[in-house]
Structure 1
């Protein structure tokens, strides 16, 4: 089943959700700020995206700038930071089987559904 890691306060995430709704396909909404992915889940998502953990971080968030920016962090450190501060996770993320995309731009989502 298709999953969208969603934050309703984010306009790009709402656009991603609308694209899924328009597709008519079944999907699951994961409100990741409330249901934070585990370390293993986040590692799996990162692997499906084919990126490094740092590429999933929202680097303009205040918590990143205050606590992590400029530090020598391992991939594990970065994943832990995202779990402890889930608003650092880029959004929306859509997973469909063994494929995943960050829905920025929204058209990325159409490539995997």
Structure 2
């Protein structure tokens, strides 16, 4: 498969390393973005959320201290969380794969597999 993809990756995360290995194994051309070092812009985050559609809230790490410190809840508008995420990229769930066809959070990993195989 020759789809081009972007993987928002944290090399310290075992799930993220697993996703990267899976993507390479499947022959996908992938750009790896270590999002904690090179955070995505608000515009990029909004585009990813749009690709995720109804599952966009899955891109938020709700257990992070920043989420709680900001007083966020499940009811907080996504746009508000994304603005903070652009400044505090630790809020971005990983691994996150974005292709021309869509996006998937790799928790569980079957989401990424479905996107790679055209079922996501």
Q: Secondary structure at the match of 1:5?
A: strand
Following superposition, the deviation at residue 50 of structure 1 comes to 0.8
Following superposition, the deviation at residue 64 of structure 1 comes to 1.3
* Alpha-carbon separation, structure 2, partners of 1:70 and 1:58: 11
Which of 105, 108, 114 aligns to 1:102? It is 105
Following superposition, the deviation at residue 52 of structure 1 comes to 6.3
TM-score normalised per structure 1? 0.87
Question: 1:67-86, aligned counterparts within 5 Å?
Answer: 67-70=70-73, 73-86=76-89
Question: 1:10-89, aligned counterparts within 5 Å?
Answer: 10-51=13-54, 54-70=57-73, 73-89=76-92
Tell me how many residue pairs correspond in the alignment. Answer: 113
CA RMSD of aligned residues (A): 1.9
Q: Which moved more, 1:72-81 or 1:100-109?
A: 72-81
Q: Secondary structure at the match of 1:83?
A: helix
Q: Secondary structure at the match of 1:51?
A: helix
Of the two structures, which has the highest relative contact order with CA contacts closer than 8 Å and spacing of 6 or more?
1
Q: Which consecutive unaligned segments of at least 5 residues does structure 1 have? A: none
Distance change in 2, residues 1:6/1:74 (3 Å): same
Following superposition, the deviation at residue 40 of structure 1 comes to 0.9
Following superposition, the deviation at residue 12 of structure 1 comes to 1.1
Following superposition, the deviation at residue 81 of structure 1 comes to 1.1
